């Protein structure tokens, strides 16, 4: 259980669940009006602390430099949304919804604390050693992974003309004449002396024949590579300042 004296060590410090998962940072502590003891703590969750969830603080404990609550991280982040500013109060309906979310018996809790009024936020006062704690907000910048686009491989067919030079041959007729000699006289004297005759020769030629065949030429695949760039993030943080009032230096400055 967290006491009023421990509030200053809780605010703006990390809040973890029992599994060691960080839920967020404690922002405000809400006090029971009847018992005067801390009842709820609001925790900033989400990226850059954009959301705020309420957690019962009765069974929480301070462990080293953080607050540990007996509820899973997802349970805290899914708690009902309650819009209460620092110094404000939880209505009975809001508190009832929170009790129901965390599985706390509403009637038993009220019997322990008597009919309690609304809850309020308390700003911690000076510790017993008369020292004042100065706090300031720090920026904690993280990254989230999201889809930036999609790329796909698509195969389609195009037709293009190609010119290929190929040698072709053909036959031509050439008439050869030779005189009658003793070597060919016998062939020349065969047949009738005077007659009509024909002799036919078949001519041949080559023509190009085009045939296409699909042949693999390359393999194409897509891979991804990660590049890291520097990006500047700007945010506002609050800082506390401590000044002494009523000192002699202040008196001299007023003259």
What is the model's pLDDT at position 197? 83
The whole-model pTM stands at 0.42
What is the model's pLDDT at position 48? 58
Which residues lie closer than 8 Å to 120 by C-beta, 6 or more apart?
A: 30, 31, 33, 87, 88, 89
- At residue 239, the 3 state secondary structure works out as strand
Structure tokens at 141: 């910048």
CATH, range 4-126+136-142: 3.90.50.10
The 3 state secondary structure assigned to 22-74 is EEEEEEEEEECCCCCCEEEEEEEECHHHCEEEEEECCCCEEECCEEECCCCHH
- Sequential pLDDT tens for the chain (255 residues): 678 888 887 888 888 988 888 888 888 888 877 777 888 888 888 665 567 889 888 888 888 888 898 899 888 888 888 776 645 677 788 888 888 888 888 666 666 655 444 444 444 444 556 788 888 888 888 788 888 888 999 999 999 999 999 999 999 999 989 898 989 888 888 878 788 888 899 999 999 999 999 999 999 999 988 888 888 888 888 898 888 888 665 545 554
pLDDT in tens, 147-164: 888 899 999 999 999 999
SS3 content of the chain, % helix, strand, coil (to 5): 15, 15, 65
pLDDT in tens, 7-30: 887 888 888 988 888 888 888 888
What is the model's pLDDT at position 117? 42
């Amino acid at each position: 259980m967290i006491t009023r004296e421990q509030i200053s060590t809780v605010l703006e410090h990390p809040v973890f669940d029992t599994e060691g998962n960080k839920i967020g940072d404690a922002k405000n502590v809400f006090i029971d009006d009847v018992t005067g003891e801390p009842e709820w703590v609001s925790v900033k969750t989400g990226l850059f602390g954009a959301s705020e969830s309420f957690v019962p603080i009765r069974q929480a404990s301070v462990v080293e430099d953080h607050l540990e609550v007996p509820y899973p991280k997802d349970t805290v982040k899914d708690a009902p949304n309650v819009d209460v500013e620092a110094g404000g109060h939880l209505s009975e309906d809001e508190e009832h919804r929170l009790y129901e979310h965390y599985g706390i018996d509403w009637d038993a809790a009220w019997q322990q604390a008597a009919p309690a009024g609304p809850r309020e936020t308390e700003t911690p006062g000076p510790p017993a050693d008369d020292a004042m704690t100065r706090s300031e907000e720090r920026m904690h910048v993280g990254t989230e992974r999201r889809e930036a686009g999609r790329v796909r491989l698509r195969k389609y067919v195009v037709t293009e003309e190609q010119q290929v030079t190929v040698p072709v041959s053909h036959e031509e007729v050439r008439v050869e004449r030779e005189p009658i000699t003793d070597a060919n006289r016998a062939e020349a004297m065969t047949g009738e002396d005077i007659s009509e005759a024909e002799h036919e020769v078949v001519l041949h030629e080559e023509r190009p024949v085009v045939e296409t065949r699909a042949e693999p030429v390359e393999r194409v695949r897509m891979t991804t590579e990660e590049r890291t760039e520097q990006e500047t993030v700007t945010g506002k943080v609050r800082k506390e300042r401590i000044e002494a009032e009523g000192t002699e230096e202040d008196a001299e400055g007023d003259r």
